[in-house]
Chains A and B, each alone.
Chain A
């Protein structure tokens, strides 16, 4: 397909209004990254500091139920933290690069930001597909 390179052509630009929207987007994206990662860290701390419930009467093959539940909770919190760090890294990349690119009128930075945004959406979509597949399999396993 022929690309429009003529400066008098009707090519799309990131005008002042679009710039202000992108800057707003990047600010909110940074807030999402910060709160999501902070939430995962708090969940991990809560799982580690959670008071152990006395399930001594429910010994299960040498392991107490309380310690098993505690380990499971800490493990899932660590998994959740790692997972959110991977996902939100790309949103962070979008936020920092696109913001810097728009402020300095550097299209390469803006492009890097858009790439981060694309990867972020792709990861979310693939995650949705995987969750859907797991639910689908689980549904048929129960039927």
Chain B
């Protein structure tokens, strides 16, 4: 195959324009990662608050309901919701971490012309895309399953 004339002598070298694009990408990635960490922290706090509030509601409901013969308690739901919140935060933490690592390595690689850092930066960005890709496939699969089961339920009802 004919090697393109834009190919430098020793393969693909990053010129000034590429460095500028990658540097700006790293800056936006850093911003997104920091916002992501803040969102993770807020979701964890939200999960704890929801779990505490729901358990207090359950206690109040149980004490109100203690004299009744009918047991209607939603105990455990708040805790489950809190755990779901925290799981979501943990799940969201990893792509943010990879994104921050990409950003830091890329900034240093461009500033110090460091080949190893550049490779590590690309490796981390690949991890971000891999993580997000797997996540979107799982979400889409759940969505399609819900759509199919909903359609079947509507058809047989």
Q: Which residues of A contact B (CB under 8 A)?
A: 3-4, 7, 10-15, 17-19, 21-22, 24-25, 28-29, 31-32, 35-36, 38-39, 42-43, 46, 49, 51, 101-102, 104-108, 110-111, 114-115, 117-118, 121-122, 124-125, 128, 132
Contact = CB atoms under 8 A, between A and B. Distances in A.
Interface residues of B, number: 50
Contact of A114 (B22, B32, B114, B154): B22
A121 B133 contact: no
B37 to A, nearest CB: 12
Contacts of B140: 35, 38-39, 42
B144 A42 contact: yes
B28 interface: yes
Contacts of B130: 24, 28
A101 B140 CA distance: 30
B119 A17 contact: yes
A121 B33 CA distance: 11
A45 to B, nearest CB: 8
